[in-house]
Every structure is written in C-alpha cells, then in structure tokens.
Amino acid sequence: MLPINAPAPAFALPDQNGAIHTLSEYAGRKLILYFYPKDMTPGCTKQAVGFAELNSQFEALGVTVVGVSKDSVASHKKFEEKYALPFTILSDVDKTCIEAYDVWKEKKNYGKISMGVVRTTYLIDENGVIIYASDKVKAAENPGKMLEMVRN
C-alpha cells in the first residue's frame, strides 16, 4: 500500500466502454480509487452496489468514485449492466496500475497461497496526492465509511 501524502501514480486505463481514463482528468476533484479482486463475486458486488447507492452523495460532495480490477473491459461492462453501476470501472489486465498502487500481493485463502489483488481503497485529493489509504477493507462497509470520511 502506498503511503499517505505520496503522489498518486499516473494511469491510463480503459473503462467498461473502452474509453481511456487518466489520473489527470480527475484533477480539481477528490477521487476514491478502489481496487477489488473480481467482478460478479459476492464481496466485490456488495462493495460496488454500495458505492452505486451512495454515488449521488459522493458527486454532490465533489468526489468521483472509480473502481479498478484486472478483469476485462467486457467483464466490466456486464458487471456495470447487471448492477446498474453509475461510475467508472477501469480494466487493468496488465496489472500496471494495480502494481503501481501496490495492491498485487500474496494472499492466503483456506491455507492456499496465491497472488492477487488485495481489496484496497485510496482517497486522492484535488492535487493528485494520496490523503487516505486502507488495505483492511470490508467490502460491504467500505462505501459508507468512505462517505463519512469525505463528509468530515
């Protein structure tokens, strides 16, 4: 996980519609950049739906929500359509952004060790500086906790 007060690494990734997004396009707004393991899985769905339900409140506060996983553009499109997700989901199949944000880690699941995306949420300020980071994210609670944080 990257430290607080570090500059957020630049990225250029396609969204669920194939359009390229960069970190610089969010300058002047706060950005919640959340990394999740996989589309359509129970935890990732709870997290995405939670952000979707609160999206208008984030937008009213000048905060943009963007999700990132290593799933394909096509997978993201299905995820967006199935759950009516109103925010951008970036596809990082090469893991360049995932690795730059230090969320590709060794994980243990039922005693098996493998590499994967550790669910991590960053809050980036208007100038591209990380002002909050957590890799101890509970999927269902994350959207509400982030809303509380940006309100304070």
The 8-class DSSP code of residue 70 comes to S
Among 8, 31, 32, 44, the active-site one is: 44
Stretch 93-97: mean pLDDT:
98
At 52-64, the pLDDT tens digits run 999 999 999 999 9
User: Does residue 108 register a pLDDT over 90?
Assistant: no
**pTM to 2 decimal places:** 0.96
In 3D, which of 110, 116, 5, 25 has the Cα closest to residue 66? Answer: 25
> Active site includes 44?
yes
Q: Specify the amino acid at residue 102.
A: D
At 1-20, the pLDDT tens digits run 999 999 999 999 999 999 99
Least confident among 31-35, 106-110, 130-134, 147-151: 106-110
Q: What is each CA distance from 119 to 51, 134, 139, in whole angstroms? A: 14, 9, 8
